[in-house]
Amino acid sequence: MSNIGSYEDRTKNFDWKIAEKELEFKEGHTINIGWYCSDRICLKGKADRIALFYEGFGGIKKQFTFNDIRLASNTIGKFLQTIGIKSEDRVCLFMDRIPELYLSFLGVLKIGAIVQPLFSAFGDEALYVRLENAQTRAIITQKKHLPKVRKVLDRLPYLEFVIVVDHSKSRVLEPKVISFDLQESKPVEEFETYPTKAESPSVLHYTSGTTGQPKGVKHVHYSLISQYLTAKWVLDLQDNDIYWCTADPGWVTGTSYGIIGPWSLGITQCILDAGFSAQNWYKFIEDYKITMWYSAPTAIRSLMKAGEKIISNFNLSSLRHLASVGEPLNPEAVIWSQKVFGKPFHDTFWQTETGSIMITNFPGMKVKAGSMGKPFPGIKGVVLNPKTFDPITEPEQVGLIAFQPGWPAMMRAYWNNEEKYREKFVKGWYLTGDRATIDNEGYFWFVGRDDDVINTGGHLVSPFEVESALLEHPAVGESAVVAKPDEINMEVVKAFITLKPGFIPGPDLELEIMNFIRRKLSPIAMPQAIEYMEKLPKTRSGKIMRRVLHAREWGEDIGDISTLEND
């Protein structure tokens, strides 16, 4: 089926130099992801191949060849240089999945600046916290998102430029806000890509933890080595594939495998920016004859719910290989996909921090429905005893998933947070914060997270961030946020709150509070349920015990509550 060899052979003879060689990279030389994803593909004779098929709301269609994306990223890079953006400056991308998002990603990298993609559904507070932390110098956005940016502009002294891509004329619109229209700019044919090196910073993705504000995960240009090879071997991308990654580049899947992996391989990819429905998705696969599809369990469960009948209305025979990431892929979903598409979804496990796929159902390897698979060749993955942090050697024991650092796409730092970064390593292992078992054939089985972070539909939400935002609502006295079980999203956000004197509980207030969070943070972080309480469970020292509320939601044993306040 594929030309990538067997898992055993690849593991036995593995060396990252395989990728370095294929990419013609030599130690100490320049490596720039922007150049690799566009110029190099053109130099390899694929200038006229389609890099991007785009379809937006209302059926708008656009397409770009590799030469088009080379020119467009040159043009954007040049513009950024003209206004004074320098290497290592942070440039935020705050756009829907429009072509400019993908083209700017390469443009920012080509000038050696650091690209900071943020999900465009983020509200002003979520935006503020991340721009403030990164001391971002410029943000590229759309007219429709400008009101959110304006709201925080005064509080962000480092933010000098707000660049709007869909105003028709290049001009200054208001202080700090300028317009840049790609269509009206003269394409820049010759451009000198900034000579970034392996360890030069490239992408800064924000991810949520249990405590404190979101952390900026710093990646470097050398990550390309991992992203290229995993896209080739795990996603099994082959020369004539038409690839669809359903993730938004506001999240790491949407950049590592929604831009860098496929384009560094010169693969045609398709983007659908028109919301989710089973009808739309199947039609998209049929229209573009998608061959490789990388998606997420929540989407797959939604498709299962839409039923099998609808599938018979479409010709989906182009599909050759399917993969999934982001949250537990339940065995039923794998069995279902085998039945309706004739092939299983191959689960993959990784994180914003790891930058590339770590555990995988390698093509050709036996798929065990419900298992995440085995570590990618060259990756040493174990489960650790939670007390001693030594690897567990017997099978079927629950432990902490950990990896031996050293693969190219591993994060290099949490932005300005050395302490949190150091906490991720114990006895030479990188701790993922997840728990799993390993069976007697070396397959990993996901058990759960080892912290309070909520994974809703494949998106991590920090209870701390939601609790802090809740406290800004005038009616909220105290709050505790935990995951609540959900059929489709696996988990959704639930908030327990106490009210300040004078506020009356009720459905109106509930809705108001939900909307308050949606606007401030995002629709993802918005509590799907709010429960009023007289008081929240606390330890004697006054710390709110989320654990007790979590256990109640999931019908689990509450465990040791001996430190609970006893009055």
Chain residues binding ligand WT7 by CB under 6 A are 207, 251-253, 325-329, 347-352, 372, 432-434, 446, 449, 455, 460
Minimum CB distance to ligand WT7, residue 237 (Å) = 17
Distance, CA of 82 to CA of 186 (rounded, Å): 14
Residue-by-residue DSSP string for 99-126: HHHHHHHHHHHHTTPEEEE--TT--HHH
Task: List strand residue ranges (DSSP E) for 107-174, in order.
Answer: 114-117, 138-141, 161-164, 172-174
* Residue number with CB closer to ligand WT7 (326 or 399): 326
In the chain, the amino acid numbered 81 is Q
* Residue number with CB closer to ligand WT7 (123 or 373): 373
Minimum CB distance to ligand WT7, residue 256 (Å) = 7
Distance, CA of 119 to CA of 176 (rounded, Å): 22
Q: Supply the Cα-derived Rg of the chain in whole angstroms.
A: 23
Minimum CB distance to ligand WT7, residue 254 (Å) = 9
* Residue number with CB closer to ligand WT7 (99 or 458): 458
Closest CA to 188 of 180, 200, 178, 198: 180
What phi and psi values does residue 109 have, to the nearest 5 degrees?
Answer: -65, -35
Q: Report the residue closest to ligand WT7, judged by CB.
A: 352
* Residue number with CB closer to ligand WT7 (167 or 232): 232
* Residue number with CB closer to ligand WT7 (94 or 251): 251
* Residue number with CB closer to ligand WT7 (412 or 449): 449
* Residue number with CB closer to ligand WT7 (98 or 325): 325
* Residue number with CB closer to ligand WT7 (237 or 252): 252
Q: Give the pairing type, strands 399-403 and 429-438.
A: antiparallel
Residue-by-residue DSSP string for 213-251: S-EEEEEETTHHHHHHHHHHHTS---TT-EEEE---TTS
Q: Are 111 and 136 contacting, i.e. CB atoms less than 8 angstroms apart?
A: no
Distance, CA of 321 to CA of 362 (rounded, Å): 11
Minimum CB distance to ligand WT7, residue 505 (Å) = 33
Distance, CA of 168 to CA of 182 (rounded, Å): 10
Minimum CB distance to ligand WT7, residue 375 (Å) = 13
Minimum CB distance to ligand WT7, residue 449 (Å) = 5
* Residue number with CB closer to ligand WT7 (73 or 352): 352
Distance, CA of 136 to CA of 115 (rounded, Å): 10
- List C-alpha distances in Å: 550 to 76, 454, 493: 47, 11, 11
Q: Are 381 and 359 contacting, i.e. CB atoms less than 8 angstroms apart?
A: yes
Minimum CB distance to ligand WT7, residue 381 (Å) = 13
Tell me which DSSP letter residue 202 carries: E
Minimum CB distance to ligand WT7, residue 457 (Å) = 11
- List C-alpha distances in Å: 430 to 14, 69, 351, 426, 461: 21, 36, 12, 7, 21
| Beta bridge pairs of residue 383 | 401
* Residue number with CB closer to ligand WT7 (266 or 457): 457
Minimum CB distance to ligand WT7, residue 295 (Å) = 12
Closest CA to 185 of 87, 77, 95: 77
* Residue number with CB closer to ligand WT7 (80 or 292): 292
Evaluate the CA torsion angle 358, 363, 366, 369 in order and state its sign. positive
Distance, CA of 68 to CA of 52 (rounded, Å): 10
* Residue number with CB closer to ligand WT7 (332 or 512): 332
Minimum CB distance to ligand WT7, residue 545 (Å) = 22
In the chain, the amino acid numbered 257 is Y
Minimum CB distance to ligand WT7, residue 94 (Å) = 18
Q: Which region, left, alpha or beta, applies to residue 30 given φ > 0 means left and ψ of -120 to 50 means alpha?
A: beta
* Residue number with CB closer to ligand WT7 (245 or 536): 245
Minimum CB distance to ligand WT7, residue 564 (Å) = 28
Minimum CB distance to ligand WT7, residue 383 (Å) = 14
Extract the tokens encoding 406. Answer: 């050293």
- List C-alpha distances in Å: 16 to 222, 227, 350, 486: 11, 11, 18, 40
